[in-house]
Chain A
Amino acid sequence: MGTRRLRVAAQFAAVGAALAASLTACSSGGGQPSNVITVSSAQCGGGWSVPGPGWHTIQISNQGTGGAEIDLVDPANGAVYAEIENTGPGTVNPIDIDFGSGKYALLCLFSDYGPLQGPVVTVAGHAAGTPAVLPITYNQLIPLAKTYAGQEETAIKVMASETATLAAAVRSGSLTTARRDWLTAHLQYESLGDAYDAFGNFDTEIDGRADPVGVTSPQWTGFFRLEYGLWHGQSLASLAPVASTLNRYVDQLVTWWPTQEVPLADLGRRAHEVIENALEFQLTGHDDYGSGTTLASTLAAITASRVLLGLLHPLLAPRYPELPAVYSALSLLQSLLEKERLANGWWVPVSALPSATRQAIDAACGQVLQELAPIASITEPRNTANEF
């Protein structure tokens, strides 16, 4: 097997005092740096140069009349070395990178203007520098977002049938069946990857925590409310309306979801956000309202993350050298969690885990998150010279 990696990525290697010295030299004392490059909607940097390979700072002065995004790109293929996302008119912002031997150009993306690429600057020699990342465009992400929305729609419909079954089980009066059906439906919900308001207010109604209102409040609805009742001796008769309401909200979600657009930047972000959420609410035991199934919910979050990774894989593979480490870290976490599944289909509650087991799971989850972290940056949709 591959050895787990403790470090995130080679490009995170720190550089020492040599860099500090270099930057100091480049930005010369006395306030105004000597290497200011002026950009506007009419001209994306005149002639500029760097002394040679190595760490240098260039200062980009926006003399245009509006805001702009300024990228430093490889003119051959549009790969991005560095970017300033928002530079206001009249401001000066630095770009500092390790210039390698090769060709560089500024790309100016002024609001209300087409993309403008500046002159090509050649750095001589045979030195390697900061690598450029091929930008991912809106057009590349749109079909993925559509596919994702479709998969989610299918999964939401599955959940709707499961919550209908759950509501019927609660009405029928069998606690055993109701609990089992609750787990099936709830894990389906957790595997949808609803991190950070992907479902708007529905998340509060379908999977809201007791925290803001308290466990006795009639305002508390959804899966956790039902879990609390099913595992705290509340009568099934009293829970039947709770289950029906849950089913009704899920039906509404089925109708609402197709009217929504998935923000393109969410695809990459959500891949780690769902695991961040699991660490905060599931592995801590916070979201255990009695069933002791937060480890299963964590597995569901892994499923959600893998769906997104699967969609993004063709874009990530050529851009993220550590991608295999993401998968091996996920597999390790998954295998540790699956060991805690009991023969009867239920789960060891987080609070009952031996300390060493819990630490192993937490450490594996931390490693997953560290490996996932770059994906949101890499898959952020970017404007290019050809697509704007």
Chain B
Amino acid sequence: MSSDTPEPTAAPGPARRSFLRGMAGGVAGGVIAGGAAGAAAGYAYRGAPADPAAAANAAVAGGRLPAVPFHGKYQAGILPESSRATAVVSFEATAANRAELTDLFQTVTDRARFLTAGGTPPPVGIDGPPSDSGVLGPTVVPDGLTVTFGVGSTLFDDRYGLAAVRPVHLTPMTSFPNDDLDPAQCGGDLILQLSAGNADTVIHALRDIAKNTRGGMQINWRIDGFASPARPAGTVPRNLMGFMDGIANPSVTSAPQLDSLVWVDPSTSREPSWTAGGSYLVVRLIRMFVEFWDRVDIEEQETMIGRRRATGFPLDADSLYATPDYANDPTGDVIPLTAHMRLANPRTPQSASSQILRRAYNYDRGIDQVGDLDMGLIFTCFQQDIGRQFATVQTRLIGEPLIDYISPFGGGYFLALPGVSGPSDYYGRALLA
């Protein structure tokens, strides 16, 4: 069947999304000051100040976390501690060419700028479906949303003419000896991590960004996660093995530590200049065999990890943040040489430069073929150099006793882009310009 009605030929595209830039200035409203302890240094904490815990908890429960300032030298989602809800989403770029890829990055920037600030979408008109999903009600609340946008090595193939400016350490993810990687859940041209105080805020942001970028990128894989509240209060959130996760991390308030461990710096490396202010992001999706784990006695669990399960204390100490004294335990009588904590961070002068900024989330997504619970860890970490840091740490962990209880099955290596400096800037401008 065919139509005799003449159709117009496709007109030249409208001026390339110029309205995006036009509206940009008017969008970023609703920023509530507060909770930005580190704003002066170019980053912010997601939550309220650490003072009255009750107030902070109420803010989380009520979805009232303040806006995290979007603009800055670095992306705002890198330094804050894990928020309650996250989604990690990998995309294939389907933009046809460099100009469309630029449009895509501008559109993601624009949506992120609005979503992180919050505000009221236009009312429902008669000229189309509603512009907003309505998942957050008539007014989009910031709820501490951060949008972290990154690129994978495959973006630097021949499609967009970017091969010459590939970040030096950006490669496909290494498959380590204990991995069981599913290609369908690995890699991607682009990575988007959305984190906020509540799952509805994360889902709202994902739907908004996806609907505005339909032709430009297509989801490869995604995983949703959550961070638990610290139990007991004042400690560190636990993973689904029951252990506190991410106790020893570089200080996010120490500029020297961040400059030497987290931020990419082309002035002191061979990295292309556009990467200044970026940070390598490693995502590892790790199944935990929790039924098996729950059948392991506590002493074995604790010696595999190197910490007490109840308190998080190192086995040789009586406080959470105590530095384990490996020098006085050279044969591992107290903390075995193969304990996860000891292999990951031997606390030697030589290992200091391999530290990573860990930001872990738990995932929980149904069951496997034998009816066991499919849950585990979305391990994310930020660093200056994947080879020197994550890959070195992971190499030390090869063969650790813990591997019987976990199975890395997905993830990827990415470069989290430099921050968006202001209303006229956009993600990857220096890359795409």
Contact = CB atoms under 8 A, between A and B. Distances in A.
A324 interface: yes
A325 interface: yes
B215 A364 contact: yes
- 3 closest A-B pairs (Cβ-Cβ)? A17-B29, A16-B29, A2-B13
B30 A3 contact: no
Contact of A17 (B14, B30, B215): B30
Nearest to B27: A16
Report the interface size class on chain B: 35 or more
B122 A313 contact: no
A328 B214 CA distance: 14
Interface string B21-41: 001001111110000000000
B334 to A, nearest CB: 50
B375 to A, nearest CB: 27
B5 interface: yes
Given A6-B212, A15-B26, A327-B8, 15 more contacts: A4-B216, A5-B215, A6-B104, A11-B128, A14-B132, A16-B119, A16-B120, A20-B120, A155-B1, A307-B5, A309-B7, A310-B6, A310-B7, A322-B14, A363-B94
B154 to A, nearest CB: 10
Given A3-B100, A5-B215, A327-B8, A15 B120 contact: yes
Nearest to A19: B120
A82 B129 contact: no
Contacts of A376: 129
B353 interface: no
B8 A17 contact: no
B28 A5 contact: no
Contacts of A331: 10
A284 to B, nearest CB: 14
A36 interface: no
A273 to B, nearest CB: 13
A88 interface: no
Interface size class of A (residues with CB under 8 A): 35 or more
24 contacts: A5-B215, A6-B107, A7-B212, A11-B122, A11-B131, A12-B122, A13-B131, A15-B120, A19-B29, A19-B120, A97-B125, A98-B122, A133-B125, A303-B2, A304-B1, A310-B3, A313-B7, A324-B14, A327-B11, A329-B215, A356-B92, A363-B217, A366-B215, A376-B129
Contacts of B13: 1-5, 324-325, 328
Contacts of B27: 13-16
Contacts of B11: 2, 324, 327-328
B120 A6 contact: no
B7 A327 contact: yes
Interface in B296-352: none
Given A5-B14, A151-B1, A363-B215, A14 B131 contact: yes
A5 B140 CA distance: 25
A262 interface: no
B10 A328 contact: yes
Contacts of B92: 355-356, 359
Given A2-B13, A17-B30, A359 B218 contact: yes
Contacts of B23: 13-14
A6 B17 contact: yes
Interface stretch (A199-207, A209-217, A367-375): A367-375
Max count, chain A CB within 10 A of own CB: residue among B5, B100, B117: B5
A interface, over-half SS: helix
Given A16-B117, A19-B120, A192-B1, A11 B127 contact: yes
B268 interface: no
B230 interface: no
A80 B29 CA distance: 29
Contacts of A12: 122, 128, 131
Interface string B65-103: 000000000000000000000000000101110011001
Nearest to B9: A327
**Which of A17, A82, A188, A364 counts the most B-chain CB atoms under 10 A from its CB?**
A17
Nearest to B119: A16
Contacts of A355: 92
A370 B211 CA distance: 7
B121 interface: yes
A96 interface: yes
A310 B215 contact: no
B12 interface: yes
B20 interface: yes
A158 B23 CA distance: 51
Contact of B127 (A311, A328, A332, A377): A377
Contacts of B1: 151, 154-155, 158, 188, 191-192, 303-304, 307
Nearest to B96: A4
Contacts of B126: 80, 82-83, 133, 377-378, 380
Nearest to B7: A310
Interface string B125-151: 111110110000001100000000000
